[in-house]
Structure formats: C-alpha cells, structure tokens
Structure 1
C-alpha cells in the first residue's frame, strides 16, 4: 500500500512532465504515443512534432493510408517503385494483403536489392533535423533565465536565474548551482539549478546516402499490424529516404493527413 505523495515526489513529477512536454514539442504525448516509443517516434519528433501528434489524433484508416503513401513515396524517390518485386509489395499493401517474398525474410530482401540493377540517381545527402531551442527547467515564480557571459569564449551559452522585482530568491543548495543543457534522449536531473550551460552545438553534416536501403524498411514498416506504428515508422523511413529533401515529403504528408482526417470527420469531404 502506497503512502501519501510527498511534496518532493510531487515536485519531481511536475519537473518530469515539464521536460516531457518540451521533448514532445510543447504538449504531453497520449498513452497511444507512449506505447509506441519502441518505434522511430522519438526520431520523427526531432523533425516534426506537430505531425507526430496529428498522426496520433488521426483515425486508424488515415494512419494506414499515411503509411502506404509514405512507403510508396519512399520507393518512388529511391527508384524502386517500378521494380517488379517491390511493385508487388506496394500492391499487397494497398490491398491489405501480407507482404510477398522476398519481404517475408530480411536477408532475402537485401539479397534481392543487391541483385537488382538500378540506375544511379543524383547524390542525396542524409536528412538533418532542424535546430530546436534548448531545454530550460521551470523557474520559481518571479524568476527567469537570463543570458550571461561565460568564463571563456567557447561558443557555449550561459544562463542564470534572474530575479524579478519584489520576488524571493529560489531555494537552491550549493550542490545544485549548475546543470548541463538537456537534449532529446537525455533526461536531466529534475532540480531547479541557479545556472545553466548549453554547450556549443557542432553542426551536423551527413554524406550521400543509399536511398534504396532506407526505402525498403518503409515498406516493411507500413505493414505493421498497428496503424499508428505503421504510419510513424513508414514516415520516418521515408523521411530518411528523401534525405536533405525531406521537407517536400513532410509537407505532402501533413496535407494528406489533414485532408483525410477532415474527410473522416465529414463524409461529404471524402475523396471518391
């Protein structure tokens, strides 16, 4: 039997939720999204958190349609859509059938790809997510994070809690006077530091990618029994297939998802 929740436990939970809200783009994830965190959802979050939540809110039919669209676009952009054994898999997805060979065995699928002559396309660099603002822990009432000069010009950004007029200083012990900046995948200690340092970010650079090797996983993902997981993972793999041109795909997926979701809510708006 659990005892009453202490103030420390309540504060820790509030700070955990504060970080999680930042991690998921300004809103807390639904239980459905929490349940698919074993998928590529966290990676997709770094590119478009609004789309992640939109896919979650969409009905299962819309999610399945998005998964199929993402798989098809991935194969088209990788030059695979007209390859017979890939085209057969896309047809199976459209008709709701299990994926045919060689998609029933990963080793055979990759061997089929190695054995398929493909005309080389223009080089495409890997996708890099847009930079996002760093995480700031919640501040005590009447306080705000203020940029300050650091001890050396190393490109890092330094902040201190700045007290607003007529407010009390925060209750912070000496061992909590600094904390490193947080990023996706790293959950910070849920304390209120008096100072923060966000290290300088090293610009990401990705070289040319093999688009077919990202496209085939999109086909596999689209066949997942869970419509939500199928949509999230197929879009994620398709995004990687598009590489540096990924904004084109996300724009189409967002428009498609919004259009289909509207049609699901109002049958008169559905496509014939």
Structure 2
C-alpha cells in the first residue's frame, strides 16, 4: 500500500502484519480492530518515524504524515471493495501531499484498459 510505504510505515512490524493480512484477504489483526488503539500505538511506538508534511488544505500548519497514512490501511479493509479502494486512495493522496499527481498516475496505470 503506497500511502504506508510513503510514510515509512510498511517497515514497522505490527503495521506490516496488518498489510500482510489485507493482502491475504483476512481481517486486520490487533490493534487495527479498534481505530483508537491503532492510533494510540502509532503515536507511542518509538520505531514509528515522525515526518511532518504540509497539512491538507494549505495553511501554515504541518501534519504528521504517518497519522495521515494509517487510515488508508483501515479504509482498504472495508467491506465494500469500491468504497474501500476510493477511501484508501483519498487517504494516500493526503499522505503524498504535493506528489499526489504521481500517485494518481501510478493508480491509473494499474487500472484495466
């Protein structure tokens, strides 16, 4: 999942386990069964990188890229495949920030015909 890779989260063991479960079509493991616990672990795990990027919508504030990326995994596990894909792509676009056009080009390249 490109959003998590862009944020450096795909190399974190417990997040990689969630990605692997998603790839296998399985339910996400703990702590992903509770969004609040997943974010608590994200914010307290010292192995998680902390990258500030421009906040969505412009302005002068920065946002934690990893916190913007994690919802892509949660969204991708949703029961409706189309909604899951669109929500995951939306979260990925926020995560990629100014490089989101590259993300969209990569996504388009994966679409059939």
TM-score, with normalisation over the residues of structure 2? 0.89
Q: Residue 17 of structure 2 corresponds to which residue in structure 1?
A: 88
- Following the alignment from structure 2 to structure 1, what is the Cα–Cα distance between the partners of residues 21 and 29? 7
Conserved in 2, the CA contact under 8 Å of 1:127 and 1:245? no
Report which of the two structures shows the higher radius of gyration computed on alpha carbons. 1
Alignment of 1:34-113 (within 5 A): 72-113=1-42
Alignment of 1:227-238 (within 5 A): 227-238=81-92
Q: Does 1:205 align with 2:83?
A: no
- Following the alignment from structure 2 to structure 1, what is the Cα–Cα distance between the partners of residues 93 and 28? 21
- Following the alignment from structure 1 to structure 2, what is the Cα–Cα distance between the partners of residues 206 and 92? 37
Tell me the number of residue pairs that the alignment of Structure 1 and Structure 2 aligns. 112
- Following the alignment from structure 2 to structure 1, what is the Cα–Cα distance between the partners of residues 107 and 60? 24
Q: Deviations over 1:90-122 (max 9, x none)?
A: 00110000000000011211111112123344x
Q: Residue 49 of structure 2 corresponds to which residue in structure 1?
A: 119
Structure 1 residue runs of 4 or more that deviate by more than 4 Å after TM superposition: none
Structure 2 residue runs without a partner (length 5+) = none
Q: Does 1:246 align with 2:103?
A: no
Report deviation, 1:211: 0.9
Relative to structure 1, the CA distance from residue 119 to residue 221 in structure 2 (aligned partners, 3 Å threshold; closer, same or farther) is closer
TM-score, with normalisation over the residues of structure 1? 0.39
Q: CA RMSD in A?
A: 1.6
Report deviation, 1:246: 1.2
Structure 1 residue runs without a partner (length 5+) = 1-71, 129-203, 263-272
Q: Deviations over 1:209-245 (max 9, x none)?
A: 2111111110010011111101110000010111122
